[in-house]
Amino acid sequence: MAEPSIVFTDVNERQGAFHRRIFILGGVVAFGLFALTGRLAHLQVLQGGKYQKLSAANQYNFRLIPPPRGDILDRNGKVIAGNRPSFRVMIESNEVKNIDDTLNEVSYILPQAVTNRRRILRDLNQNQRFVPTIIASDLNWEDFSRVSLYANDIPGVVADMDQLRVYHYGGAFSHVVGYVSKINARDLEREKARPDYTEEEDKLLRHPSFRIGKTGIERAYDAQLRGTAGGRKVEVDAEGQVVAEDPQGMIPPKPGADITLTLDADIQMRALEVFGEDSGSAVMMNVNTGEVLCMTSTPAFDPNLFVSGIPTDAYRLLADYERLPLLDKAVGSTYAPGSTFKMTTALALLDAGINPAERVHCSGAFYFGRRFGCWKPGGHGSVDMVGAIKHSCDVYFYAMCNRAGIDRIARAGRKLGLEHIYPDLGIDGQKKGLLPDQEYVRKYRKKDPVWHPGETLSAAIGQGMTLVSPIQLATYTARIANGKKAVEPYLVNKIGGDLEDHMSKFKTIEIPEAHLAIIRDGMNRVSNDADGTAYRQSQLDLGPNIHMAGKTGTAQVRGYDKTGIRKANEWKYKDHGLFVCYAPVDQPKYALAVVVQHGVAGGRFAAPKAREIMRLALIKDPEIRKRITGPVNAAIDTGKLNADASASASAEVDVPVDPNARSD
């Protein structure tokens, strides 16, 4: 105090500088704290919601539970496609720090992990982060118990039980029921394109145990069979270990609906049995309801191979075999119908007002610009319409067909269900076939847009451009046999217990019953007159009440070289054998079409197969069995049938009908 102030100038200067600068320091700190508090408020108050979601995503994990796929049953409840348990081990890549270390650890308890390492690493790269990758599936119990004991110690490795699709009948239904397989990029694209595609569904589709229907019923009704995924809400820690399970958060999966088919496993198996090594197809329908009872395509393949992924070499064998086991011949393959088409031509002739009693003399050939030969070189002599069907006389149809014209023939064919895709059948890959007419050649045959009358001759006997598939042939036969309703084939009876209605959609056949009666008479005679083309092959041996009516067909395969010599000894140049039939003759119930690819001739090779299949169907039917075992004439209600026939005949056109025509 007493000291001179000059001594303090320096001190005061230092003090002044300090005081000025401490304000700056305070200001900087204040600014810093203000900024931090502001940031805190921004994070916690403004963005709180966003981070709460992220936090919950950290804390809770939804483990998807895939739904069991619906079973596919035959009409009697036999399981065609079901599920079986499969033990497997998966790796969850988002919970694994180092994949190599984890796989090494796994390989101590599961040697398969070593051999499959490349596949596992490839799958891990392809799968999205949250999608588990399968290390090994279908483990035996010993392996599985060892893995499930130790897996919990390896983070990210999960052992669980999975449902795997199993086809109990092996190849019997491989085409019609189809198969499921791992989803591929194309399937995923198609699913994503659906408007009602959800994120939940996306997770299910990417789940490693999910299988998507690839062909047949499995594909057509995939949405119904698939079900809805459930979920397990679990609390996990940072290492992905499950800390707690939330029982409230458990959503049980909704199993897919069971689908009951119209198919009969016994008939299907019988059809396969009679086909043996032969390539072809058999389709049987109920003529009243349209139910498809059997639908085979041989040779077949084992769909179980496709469920876990078929090895490439095995697939190549199937794909390269000349009898085309992968093709569904029942719907996806078309053939010239040959003589089985003659009923169509005959109906067109009746439609054109030709008297069925008019006779044509068959001398074994017909000349129309060139020589058109009958299948029987010696000729049939004088035949009327019924006789022409019975003997399958080509000359009768050659002579008559241009009086009906190709357009009328095509129209008759369409009324009977040819050149048509059946929407109710559901399954993909149906081929439409072809009934050529004037419009068709005008539109599509640019080189030669005019229909030549000579072409009608080929078309009339089911050769030339005409193409039909076995399912169309069966429907065609069913409509002839039904006579009233234009039945359409379908495969699904019930989905998840609900009956499917198909029958109310059936239209009426726009062909007079009287005309159809003549055709049926012809078919009856094919099988039951001693000189019919398929008499021997059509004897069901089910007593005097039950008979079948049929029509043979032989479709020429382009197997003639330039010199006109057939290379018949080679399988793939042999003719196709066809046979269509229905039974019982008096009260038709079942219609059947059999196509034996390169089966030489319908009567010899297709008809016996048809007989065996038809026999089993008739024996299995309880009503018909009663008639087989019952008294001889008890069930034949001729009066009623004839009354129906004459009523419709008088109402429609004036065509003479012999009421006794089918009483033999």
Partner 1 sequence: MVDSALSRPGQRERYDSKITQINWVFVICLIALASIGMLLQYSAGGMSWQPWAYKQLIVFCTCLVLTLCLALVDLRVWLWICYPFYTISLLLLVAVEVIGDVRMGAQRWLEIGSFSFQPSEFMKLAIVLGLARFYHEASAKDANLSWKLIIPALMIAVPTGLVMHQPDLGTALLIAFTGGAVMILAGLNWKIIAAAAAGAVVMVPIAFQYILHDYQRNRILTFLNPEADPSGTGYHILQSKIAMGSGGLLGKGLGLGSQSQLNFLPEKHTDFIMAGVCEELGFAGGFAVFALAGALIFMALRMASVSHSHFGRLAAAGTTATFALYVLINGAMVMGLAPVVGIPMALVSYGGSVMLTVMAGFGLILGVRVHRYQELPRQQSIFARFE
Residue 633 CA neighbour count, 13 Å, CB half? 4
Interface with partner 1 (CB under 8 A), residue from 2, 4, 10, 276? 10
CA dihedral over 318, 322, 328, 332, signed as positive or negative: positive
Q: How far is the CB of 29 from partner 1 (least distance, A)?
A: 5
Q: Which is nearer to partner 1, 98 or 312 (CB)?
A: 98
Most distant CA atoms of the chain, gap in Å: 160
Alpha helices in 422-530 (DSSP H): 438-444, 453-460, 470-482, 513-528
Q: Could you tell me which stretch among 23-31, 81-89, 500-508, 538-546 binds partner 1 (CB under 8 A)? A: 23-31
Q: Which is nearer to partner 1, 26 or 449 (CB)?
A: 26
Is residue 246 part of the contact set for partner 1 (CB under 8 A)?
A: no
User: Which residues, in sequence order, are bridge partners of residue 495?
Assistant: 259, 498
Q: Whole-angstrom Cα distance, residue 344 to residue 477?
A: 10
Q: Which is nearer to partner 1, 55 or 629 (CB)?
A: 55
Terminus-to-terminus CA distance in the chain, angstroms? 151
Interface with partner 1 (CB under 8 A), residue from 37, 126, 184, 355? 37
Q: Could you tell me which stretch among 28-36, 189-197, 398-406, 512-520 binds partner 1 (CB under 8 A)? A: 28-36
Interface with partner 1 (CB under 8 A), residue from 47, 115, 125, 650? 47
CA dihedral 293, 295, 296, 297 (to 10 degrees): 180
Q: Which is nearer to partner 1, 15 or 382 (CB)?
A: 15
Q: How far is the CB of 6 from partner 1 (least distance, A)?
A: 14
Interface with partner 1 (CB under 8 A), residue from 2, 5, 22, 580? 22
175-194 positions binding partner 1, by CB under 8 A: none
CA angle 136, 204, 181 (to 5 degrees): 55
Is residue 21 part of the contact set for partner 1 (CB under 8 A)?
A: yes
Interface with partner 1 (CB under 8 A), residue from 1, 45, 193, 530? 45
Q: Encoding tokens for residue 200?
A: 């939940």
Do 229 and 163 meet the contact criterion of CB atoms below 8 Å apart? no
Q: Which is nearer to partner 1, 115 or 152 (CB)?
A: 152
Nearest to 652 by CA among 525, 515, 546, 530: 515
Q: How far is the CB of 32 from partner 1 (least distance, A)?
A: 4
DSSP string, 534-555: TTGGG---S-SS---EEEEEEE
Kindly state the DSSP code that residue 47 receives in the 8-state scheme: S
Q: Which is nearer to partner 1, 41 or 319 (CB)?
A: 41
DSSP string, 372-388: EE-SSTT--EEE-HHHH
Q: Whole-angstrom Cα distance, residue 220 to residue 301?
A: 19
Q: Which is nearer to partner 1, 48 or 423 (CB)?
A: 48
Three-class DSSP labels, 95-132? HCCCHHHHHHHHHHHCCHHHHCHHHHHHHHHHCCCCCC
Q: Whole-angstrom Cα distance, residue 293 to residue 75?
A: 8
Q: Whole-angstrom Cα distance, residue 90 to residue 151?
A: 10
Do 230 and 65 meet the contact criterion of CB atoms below 8 Å apart? yes
Q: How far is the CB of 28 from partner 1 (least distance, A)?
A: 8
Q: Whole-angstrom Cα distance, residue 389 to residue 376?
A: 14
Q: Which is nearer to partner 1, 55 or 76 (CB)?
A: 55
Do 215 and 179 meet the contact criterion of CB atoms below 8 Å apart? yes
548-567 positions binding partner 1, by CB under 8 A: none
Q: How far is the CB of 43 from partner 1 (least distance, A)?
A: 5
CA dihedral over 165, 167, 171, 177, signed as positive or negative: negative
CA dihedral 566, 567, 570, 571 (to 10 degrees): -20
Interface with partner 1 (CB under 8 A), residue from 2, 6, 32, 545? 32
Is residue 52 part of the contact set for partner 1 (CB under 8 A)?
A: yes
Contact pattern from residue 195 through residue 234 relative to partner 1, giving x for each residue in contact according to CB under 8 A and a dash for the rest: ----------------------------------------
Q: Which is nearer to partner 1, 19 or 562 (CB)?
A: 19
Is residue 128 part of the contact set for partner 1 (CB under 8 A)?
A: no
Residue carrying structure tokens 């008739």: 618
Q: Which is nearer to partner 1, 61 or 466 (CB)?
A: 61
Interface with partner 1 (CB under 8 A), residue from 193, 238, 450, 565? 238
Interface with partner 1 (CB under 8 A), residue from 2, 11, 185, 193? 11
Interface with partner 1 (CB under 8 A), residue from 101, 237, 245, 358? 237
Is residue 243 part of the contact set for partner 1 (CB under 8 A)?
A: yes
Do 331 and 597 meet the contact criterion of CB atoms below 8 Å apart? no
Q: How far is the CB of 15 from partner 1 (least distance, A)?
A: 7
Number of residues in contact with partner 1, rule: CB under 8 A?
A: 42
Interface with partner 1 (CB under 8 A), residue from 2, 153, 163, 235? 235
Is residue 27 part of the contact set for partner 1 (CB under 8 A)?
A: no
Q: Encoding tokens for residue 56?
A: 């919950």
Is residue 101 part of the contact set for partner 1 (CB under 8 A)?
A: no
Q: How far is the CB of 57 from partner 1 (least distance, A)?
A: 9
Is residue 39 part of the contact set for partner 1 (CB under 8 A)?
A: yes
Q: How far is the CB of 35 from partner 1 (least distance, A)?
A: 8
Is residue 14 part of the contact set for partner 1 (CB under 8 A)?
A: yes
Is residue 26 part of the contact set for partner 1 (CB under 8 A)?
A: yes
Is residue 33 part of the contact set for partner 1 (CB under 8 A)?
A: yes
Residue carrying structure tokens 């016996």: 608
Q: Could you tell me which stretch among 50-58, 61-69, 219-227, 249-257 binds partner 1 (CB under 8 A)? A: 50-58
Kindly state the DSSP code that residue 574 receives in the 8-state scheme: S
Contact pattern from residue 53 through residue 92 relative to partner 1, giving x for each residue in contact according to CB under 8 A and a dash for the rest: -xxx-xx---------------------------------
Q: Whole-angstrom Cα distance, residue 603 to residue 554?
A: 8
Q: Residue count of the chain, please give it.
A: 664
Q: How far is the CB of 235 from partner 1 (least distance, A)?
A: 7
Per DSSP, the three-state class of 193 is coil
Q: What is the CA radius of gyration of the chain?
A: 37
CA dihedral 524, 526, 529, 535 (to 10 degrees): -120
Interface with partner 1 (CB under 8 A), residue from 101, 239, 246, 510? 239
379: Cβ contacts below 8 Å, ≥ 6 apart: 361, 362, 363, 364, 365, 395
Q: Which is nearer to partner 1, 24 or 530 (CB)?
A: 24
Is residue 29 part of the contact set for partner 1 (CB under 8 A)?
A: yes
Contact positions vs partner 1 (CB under 8 A): 10-11, 13-15, 17-19, 21-22, 24-26, 29-30, 32-33, 35-37, 39-41, 43-45, 47-48, 50-52, 54-56, 58-59, 235-239, 243
